[in-house]
Amino acid sequence: MSELHAVARDQQEWSNRKSPAAEYLRYAAVKSGRKPFELACEYARLQCGRGKITLPEYVQYGIYESDRHSREDQGRFITNKLNWPIIRKCCDMTWQAATEDKWLCSHILAQSDVKIPETLAVIDKTNRSYPGAHKISTPEGLRDFCSSENVLPFFAKENRGICSFGAFLVIDADKDRICLQGEGWLDYVACMDEFVGDTAYIIQRLQRNHDFFEQYANNLATIRIYVLVTQNGVRIPFSCLKLPSCNNVADSFWRPGNLVCDLDAKTGEILTICSRNNVAVDSHSAHPETGAPMLGEVVPQWDQVMALVNECAAVFHEVKFQSMDIAITQEGPVLIEINTGGGFDLPQMASRKGFLTDEVCEFFRSCGYRRI
């Protein structure tokens, strides 16, 4: 087992995926047939523009593809570094804990009609109380919980985490050890002290994919929906399908082998299939692991997904810019989590289009962010 606990190890792996600046320009030059100096000048212009694009983003989003993007199109891309300045303008930040503390969020949504995973327990070594939830603070407490009837398998994620850092899936347990998918068997002391550490986790009943995803993913896939709460109702500028590879327990796009697909926000049709390499994003015509056709397929239960989005958006009405991760199960859509705001990177990599559509720009300006 790694000496780093789960969250720190995942954060380190994510950080290690960054490449030297020169490598990005070399990649773009080879891909486009354009001269590096020309690309560097173009990037410098965009870096100073309204989107403040960084060099990795310039390459990852494919902005350098002159046959695809006009000068106007290029100006619609925006750096992820502006995410929080914009979020703070769009959202009442006193609501942030209501979305980002996963136990609190589930507690709120349990009173609504929004379907969410059942919370089985919380791991927390502090004195914080979780009314109505089973709290685990010791290795013995974890062992007793795993010995309980009808809890395995279960999924655990950091209670205040992002990007699925540290998430794990427990598939088996006995009186001495616990078995984590991809990690193997750990004794309870090692799991609590070394793997979990001082991180608070929420434990949820494992959700299963709809049969539609059987040929694409073993573990849970989700739909990422970007939501603008306007005076005229909910607007959805982008939606993506996130698919985990067979080796990953979570679908975050930073994990090697995972896929993201641009979706038609009106119909749920799969428009693109993208994976990450060391520098940028690769496009595919079929699922790269299974060869299964995907383009043109329509994600099931799309009307139900939209109904869930509208119901949930109303609960968190003061969070004007939201993103939701929704699983589609055989029994219907399930909200996995809602976020205050949402990264601009995922939809721009999936669609190869800038996030700053006319509708999005108008919305951001109406919220008080006018530097676009």
Taking only the tens place, the pLDDT of each residue in 126-144 is: 999 999 999 999 999 999 9
Q: Is the pLDDT of residue 198 over 80?
A: yes
| Pairing relationship of beta strands 332-340 and 259-262 according to DSSP bridges | unpaired
State how far the Cα of 4 lies from the Cα of 195, in Å rounded to an integer.
7
Q: CA–CA separation, 80 vs 29, rounded Å?
A: 23
> What superfamily would CATH give domain 84-113+209-366?
ATP-grasp fold, B domain (3.30.470.20)
The ranges assigned to domains in the chain are 10-77, 84-113+209-366, 118-205
Euclidean distance between CA atoms 192 and 345, whole angstroms: 33
Conformation bin of residue 241: beta by default, left when phi > 0, alpha when psi is -120 to 50: beta
According to DSSP, the β-strands at 168-173 and 281-283 are unpaired
pLDDT at 2 over 50: no
Average pLDDT, the chain: 96
What average pLDDT does this structure show over 322-336?
A: 98
Residue with token string 């909200």? 335
pLDDT of residue 16: 80
Q: How far is CA 102 from the centre of its chain?
A: 14
Rounded mean pLDDT of 32-53? 96
Q: Are 344 and 364 in contact (CB under 8 A)?
A: no
**So what's the pLDDT on residue 1?**
41
Burial of 184 (C-beta count, 10 Å sphere; 0-12/13-18/19+):
exposed
Render pLDDT for 207-225 as a digit per residue (tens, 0 to 9): 999 999 999 999 999 999 9
pLDDT at 239 over 70: yes
Tell me the pLDDT tens digit for each residue of 151-162: 999 999 999 999
Q: Give per-residue pLDDT as tens, 277-295.
A: 989 999 999 999 999 999 9
For residue 4, what pLDDT is reported?
Answer: 65
The type of residue at 345 is D
Q: Which amino acid is at 55?
A: L
